Structure 1
Amino acid sequence: MNPVEKATALGMSLVSGALAAAMFKQVWKLASGQDNAPDADDLERGWTEVLVAAALQGAIFGLTKAAVQRAGAQTFHRRS
C-alpha cells in the first residue's frame, strides 16, 4: 500500500467513524425516543437497555466501516 492509499484509508476511517456515530444517534433516538444512548456505567439504566444499545452501536459501526472500506478498495482497484 503506497503512502497516498494509506493516507486516504486513514481519512476514510475517520469519516466512517463520524458517519456511524451520527447514524447510531439517529437510530437510537427513533428506537427509544431518548436523545442519548446509555453508557455501560449508567446505573440508572437496566442491563437490557445497555446491552441492546451496545449491540446496535456495534452493528452500525461494523456495517459502516465495511461499506466504506469496500468502496475505497474498489476505487483504488479501478485506478490501478
Structure 2
Amino acid sequence: MKVLYRPLSTLAGIAGGLLASAMFKRVWRKATGEEDAPKATDRDYGWREILVAAAVQGAIYGAVKAAVDRAGAAGYERATGDWPGDD
C-alpha cells in the first residue's frame, strides 16, 4: 500500500502549490493593492520590496506544504492503518 502513497502525495503537492499560489496572490493584492508581486529582477522595486515579497511567498508556500503533507499522511493512516514514514 505504501507504493500508492508517493503518487497521491505528488498530486496533493501539485494541488497545494496551486492553492499556495492563489493564496499568495490574494494576500499580496490585499496588502499592497497591486495585482502582482515584484520579481527579483524588477528594476522598479528596491531590495526591501523584493525581499518582503519573497519572505511572504515563502512563508505561505511553506505553511501550505506542511499542511498538505500532514493531511496526506493522516489520510493515508486513516485509510491503511499505517503512517507513511514508518517502516
Give the shorter-chain TM-score range: over 0.9
| % identical aligned pairs | 47
Instruction: Name the residue aligned to 1:21.
Output: 21
- Secondary structure of 1:48's aligned partner: helix
Please list every run of 5 or more consecutive structure 2 residues that lacks an aligned counterpart in the other structure: 82-87
Instruction: Name the residue aligned to 1:8.
Output: 8
Instruction: Name the residue aligned to 2:64.
Output: 64
Amino acid at match of 1:30: K
How far off its partner does 1:3 sit?
2.5
How far off its partner does 1:2 sit?
2.5
User: So what's the TM-score if we normalise by structure 1?
Assistant: 0.95
How far off its partner does 1:77 sit?
1.1
Aligned counterparts of 1:46 and 1:35: Cα–Cα separation in 2: 18
Task: Encode CA deviations 1:21-72: one digit per residue, 9 max, x unaligned.
Answer: 0000000000010001000000111111110000000000000000011001
Q: Which has the larger radius of gyration?
A: 2
Aligned counterparts of 2:37 and 2:58: Cα–Cα separation in 1: 13
| Segments ≥4 residues shifted beyond 4 Å | none
Instruction: Name the residue aligned to 2:84.
Output: none
Please list every run of 5 or more consecutive structure 1 residues that lacks an aligned counterpart in the other structure: none
Higher fraction of helix:
1
